[in-house]
Structure 1
Amino acid sequence: MYAMKSVLYGVVLCAAMSFSMNAQAAAACDSWSAATVYTQGKYATYQGKAWRAKWYTQNEAPGAQWGPWEERPASECTATPTPGGDGSGIPEPSPTVGMHHGSYFAQWGIYGRNYKLRNLVDAGGDKKLTFLNYAFGNVYANGECNIVTRTETGNGDGGDGWADYQRGFAENESVDGVGDNWDDKLKGNFNQLKKLKLKNPGLKVMISLGGWTWSKNFSKAAATDASRKALVSSCINLYIKGNLPVAEGTGGTGVAKGVFDGIDIDWEYPVAGGLASNGYSAADKQNFTLLLAEFRSQLTALGATNKRRYYLTAAIGSGVDKIRNTEPALYSAYLDWVNVMSYDYHGGWDATGPTNFQSNLYADPVAPGTGDILKYNIHDTVQALTAAGMPKAKIVLGIPFYGRGWRGVAAGPDKNGLYQSASSAAPGTFEAGIDDYKVLKLKRSTSYVHPVTKQLWIYDGNEFWSYDDPVVIATKIAYAKEKGLGGLFSWSLDGDDANATLLKATGGIRP
């Protein structure tokens, strides 16, 4: 018995000594900083790898073959958790003081429009934002978040993991001028978002789920308590905890941790109003509220563990018919703010017209239409939301960085094409009836601003386009401030011109 005790004691003693040695060996291994002085033996992480200084160095990034750094196993060091953070090495953004100013970055914008986050930085637009939504993450038929690389078939089964975290960005495309390495575990837009956050510590980055194309499965996923819990857990695991699928040599456990500060729900739309192929139920009205409650519950629990705050927002339809299908007083209690899509009131889907405004501030008493359509304007949207119990301070108005248009438009009695018949939606760069601000501002047309609706339109005798410019945006900023609203956001960055003209104009919402 004594011999056995001696053996056990020796095992425990060795284990304790081993633990002590490992604890001492695990040196501090925080993200490399150009301003920090590193002496021989000090560690830093850079581009997903651990490095140890061979001699005194400052402002020399790890990676050079003959430089002051040598790559070491990740097990030799550990990151120092940021107070109030998740230990990712990315500081927690501070809460917004005053009004919000946000925008959406579209995942696919890096292709045809060739718009990358580097463009935002080069134009100085990143300094204007308090939040940035990344569009979109998909909710699949199994009721969970995931990332795949698959062309959308119309069944809500698409995804682009290549753009999200697998595509390598060259030096001249990268936010910080440092290109991705072939063996980096995090690349693509997600890594660019991470770099953008490091440059802008107050910026909150959200993953936006759903959108027009990927709202098909929300209704089913939100239908029961069990399905809501499963959906929310999967989305948090993927985007907030950063556990990405392994693909193309990228991804893995915690690889994207710290990239996203919260989740934006873009269910288009509960009960009715989105794509015909979407799932719908009258119960969506209550289930939308219950889904947001579940997101808030799980995000709050994770925040308590990580000693930091996670944000929850939603993008909602602005038509009074869509507002009627939800419970604004109830669901808004779970949200930090609400992005009201106060645009697309009218457009080329009504191919023969009449022409009308797509994002007008006020109603025109003489405009054509009946019923709910007469309330398709920002002022009536705000009134409907506040009457339904949504706090004004949570309402963030949407500004379109694009226009809606028709062609074959009759001149009409005032010779300006307003409220007139058309032959079809106007041709657009990527889709009929819609085009970017950067394209529309170059059209040779006569421009008008309506004295009642405060909306801009242009007409050249054939094509009619309605869109926002800095003057129109200034009017909406004044309205938001007068009404005590929460701020402005825009869809989407890639529609702006190279100087970020509209983004800088919406930035006027903040002092």
Structure 2
Amino acid sequence: MRFRRRVAAAIATLALPLSGLVALASPAQAAASATATYVKTQDWGTGFEGKWTVKNTGTTTINSWTVEWDFPSGTKVTSAWDATVTNSGNHWTAKNVGWNGTLAPGASVSFGFNGTGSGSPGNCTLNGGSCDGGSAPGDEAPSAPGTPTASDITDSSVKLSWTPATDDKGIKNYDVLRDGAKVATVTTTSYTDTGLSKGTDYSYSVQARDTSDQTGPVSGSVRVRTTGQTEEPPPPGDKVKLGYFVEWGVYGRNYHVKNLVTSGSASKITHINYAFGNVKNGQCTVDDTFAAYDKAYTADQSVSGKADTWDQPLRGNFNQLRQLKAKYPHIKVLYSFGGWTYSGGFGQAAQNPAAFAKSCKAVVEDPRWADVFDGIDIDWEYPNACGLTCDSSGPAAFKNLMQALRAEFGKDYLVTAAITADASAGGKIDAADYGGAAQYLDWYNVMTYDYFGAWDRTGPTAPHSPLTSYNGIPKEGFNSAAAIAGLKGKGVPSDKLLLGIGFYGRGWTGVTQSAPGGTATGPATGTYEAGIEDYKVLKNSCPATGTVGGTAYAHCGSNWWSYDTPSTINGKMSWAKNQGLGGAFFWEFSGDSANGELVSAIDSGLR
């Protein structure tokens, strides 16, 4: 799977010497300890930017944090982000917002502010404790309330009840969260939510607040579907129709979850792979936290038509996916880890598969978004072979990892993998035990694209996603039919194989020959990367002039491109059905036209 580096979400801050750090400590929990550090990240003379980082250095989870400090007269905070900052004279207090109060052991979180003046913070405390990182006196944050139960469900309302949270000073009230946004604050342990839409899915959770105004962790969530008929179209058939949604697409590509609705694609797919989570130190982890769960959406940008608020526990792509699933209940979402850039971490993960699987489930089932994800996808490029880096973990490593994931996630979660389509003699399909691993997986996303491209600068020109071989193909075994046959030959059932489609083209420049097999001088110019361009651009800038091996190519001026069109996709889907495949998948949504031409072709072709 291709992975382009995303555009930075914020201006990089300046590095400062260690002498600029001020240590704080500890949370208000007897068995936990914590530190906080302050750094002045920028100073422009008339003002400055400061940043605090709170880190849980203990062995138990911290459920909330409050940092307090004194500024000398003349120094003050003018604006802040990722924390609620208030003051009484020269004494300043920063409290976590809803989404960043919970810190697991070893985790850290930062918040920042702009200020004026030249002073540094003093008399620092964290959750009322001393500044030495040791334990602190009482005033614990509340515990999580029990997961709500639903009753009295009608077309437009539902009654929610939950067991109370506990706290050393008593509970003040509860925030009721619908699809991650606060809809009510109550003093009892029940609430009736009204004004709902009939036949619609909602997700509810609750969060307690104590008499010191500290909020605890969010409870587990319960899914509720109101009665009555939904006006949304029925699920699109029994074949898997899966698309990758890329995390970094919200930046330069300006592609958001709502685009799946406006393009008409959401009603025509069955699954979404959210790409990519990272693999670090042998564990799964969220990559871009801002895009994933912090980016705020305005009403016109969001799927629900409601604006995010500063204090809701979940924002960003995850919350938008939650809203999408409420609108289109048939869609399942998987969290995909790895990809071309992040596959280097799988070798270490394979040394302790059980620990890796446990870390992945902790990310997928994080209480803030546990209702968003229905499974996990592993995109290891490539086990016991070379991609961006080379792996030497052995032919059994992939199977062992898949076995551990299935054992950890159980039968109720989807467990899938994106795998090589290299069916050449002694190629990547032969490097790992894909046949043995298949028993633990729901399906394989066979990456039947990127066979040929302008990394071979002088050519020969060839389609990057041929369905079948053809006379003059540069390398045998580099086509979809060979890959599917090779995997079937290793014992993978047909219905566990999905055919891959690229929503982009690959191309060369300096080409004089229209037919495949011509010479070139280098990669053609692309919007984001040389030698690659989205279908939505190519359909107009360089329309297809021929087909070969079941896919299209185009020669325009001195450029030569290959890409799939609605017509060639229709042919590939017919082939996939005749082979008894489980369906198809594609990389990735933002390459399609604004009205979802390619998604429509996959949908109609698999019916």
TM-score, with structure 1 as normaliser: 0.76
Q: How big is the shift at 1:72?
A: 9.3
Separation (CA, whole Å) in 2 of partners of 1:100 and 1:193: 18
Structure having the higher strand fraction is 2
Amino acid at match of 2:391: Y
**Does residue 401 of structure 2 align to residue 291 of structure 1?**
yes
How far 1:187 moved relative to its partner? 0.6
Q: 1:26 to 1:52 in 2, by over 3 A?
A: farther
Aligned in 2, Cα 1:428/1:57: closer, same or farther, shift over 3 Å?
closer
Contact 2:506-2:532 at 8 Å conserved across structures = yes
Indicate if the aligned counterparts of 1:409 and 1:417 stay in contact, CA closer than 8 A. no
Q: Determine helix, strand or coil for the equivalent of 1:173.
A: coil
Instruction: Give the Å deviation of 1:388.
Output: 1.2
| Secondary structure in structure 1 of the residue aligned to 2:344 | coil
**Any idea what SS the aligned residue of 1:180 has?**
coil
Give me the whole-angstrom Cα distance separating, in 1, the residues matched to 2:284 and 2:158: 41
1-structure distance, mates of 2:252, 2:161:
47
Superposed CA offset, 1:148-206 (max 9, x none): xxxxxxxxxxx311001011111111111111111111110011111111112221100
**5 Å matches for 1:244-323?**
254-275=367-388, 278=389, 280-281=391-392, 283-300=393-410, 309-320=412-423, 321-323=427-429
The alignment partner of 1:313 has SS state of strand
Cα 1:114–1:387, aligned 2, differ >3 Å: closer, same or farther? Answer: same
Give the superposition deviation at 1:343.
Answer: 0.4
* Counterpart selection for 2:265 from 114, 125, 130: 125
- Return the alpha-carbon distance in structure 1 between the equivalents of residues 272 and 544 of structure 2: 34
CA-atom RMSD, angstroms?
Answer: 3.1
Q: Deviations over 1:297-323 (max 9, x none)?
A: 0111xx6xxxxx101000001011111
1:208 to 316, 336, 342: 336
Structure 2: distance between partners of 1:417 and 1:474 = 22
* Equivalent pair of 2:242/2:585 in contact (CA under 8 Å): yes
Aligned partner of 1:100 in structure 2 is: 240
Instruction: Give the distance between the partners of 2:277 and 2:147, measured in 1 at CA.
Output: 37
In structure 2, the residue matched to 1:434 is: 532
Equivalent residue number for residue 581 of structure 2: 485
Q: Distance in 2 between matches of 1:474 and 1:208?
A: 27
Q: Does 1:189 align with 2:189?
A: no
What do residues 447-466 of structure 1 show as CA deviations (whole Å, max 9, x unaligned)? 1123xx12100001300000
Q: Is the contact made by 2:435 and 2:491 (CA closer than 8 Å) also made in structure 1?
A: yes
Q: Secondary structure at the residue paired with 1:212?
A: helix
Among candidates 158, 165, 185, match of residue 293 of structure 2: 165
Deviation at 1:98, TM superposition (A): 2.6
Question: Alignment length, in residue pairs?
Answer: 421
Residues 33, 401 of structure 1: CA spacing in aligned structure 2 closer, same or farther, 3 A cutoff?
Answer: farther
Paired position in structure 2 for 1:389 = 491
Secondary structure at the residue paired with 1:172?
coil
Distance 1:29 1:444, change over 3 A: same
Secondary structure, in 3 states, of the residue corresponding to 2:353? helix
Please report how far the alpha carbon of residue 38 of structure 1 lies from its aligned counterpart in structure 2 after TM superposition. 6.7
Question: 2:159, 2:506 → 1: CA distance?
Answer: 59
| Pairing partner for 2:282 from 143, 146, 149 | 143
C-alpha distance in structure 2 between counterparts of 1:45 and 1:487, whole Å: 36
Match in the other structure for 2:182: 49
> Contact 2:565 / 2:598 at 8 angstroms: preserved in 1?
yes
Displacement after TM superposition at 1:75 (Å): 7.5
- Structure 2 regions of 5+ residues with no counterpart? 1-144, 163-174, 198-204, 211-218, 226-233
Q: Distance in 1 between matches of 2:384 and 2:159?
A: 62
The residue type paired with residue 363 of structure 2 is L
What's the offset of the Cα at 1:44?
5.8
**Is contact 1:487-1:509 (8 Å) kept?**
no
Partner of 1:116: 256
Counterpart AA for 1:139: V
Q: Kindly state the Cα deviation for residue 49 of structure 1 after the two structures are TM-superposed.
A: 3.0
Alignment of 1:406-425 (within 5 A): 406-411=508-513, 416-425=514-523
Distance 1:401 1:90, change over 3 A: farther
Q: Normalising to structure 2: TM-score of the pair? A: 0.65
| Pair 339,32 (structure 1): closer, same or farther in 2 beyond 3 Å | farther
Structure 1 Cα separation of the partners of residues 223 and 206 of structure 2 = 18
Tell me the secondary structure at the aligned position of residue 213 of structure 1: helix
Counterpart in 2 of 1:502?
598
Alignment equivalent of 2:355, drawn from 230, 234, 237: 230
Distance 1:107 1:330 in 2: 31
Per the TM alignment, residue 273 of structure 1 is displaced from its structure 2 partner at its CA by 2.5
> Gaps spanning 5+ residues in structure 1: where?
1-24, 62-70, 148-158, 243-253, 304-308
Contact 1:50 1:72 (8 Å CA) reproduced: no
d(CA) in 2 for partners of 1:28, 1:491? 38
Contact 1:29 1:50 in 2 (8 A): no
AA paired with 2:421?
S
Task: Assess if the C-alpha contact under 8 Å between 1:50 and 1:74 holds in 2.
Answer: no
Q: Tell me the amino acid that sits aligned with residue 156 of structure 2.
A: T
The percentage of counterpart residues that share the same residue type is: 38
Name the structure 2 match of 1:59.
195
Equivalent in the alignment of 1:12: none
Say which structure, 1 or 2, has more relative contact order (CA 8 Å, 6+ apart): 1
2:216 is aligned to none
Residue 327 of structure 1, CA deviation: 1.4
> 1:175 aligned to 2:307?
no
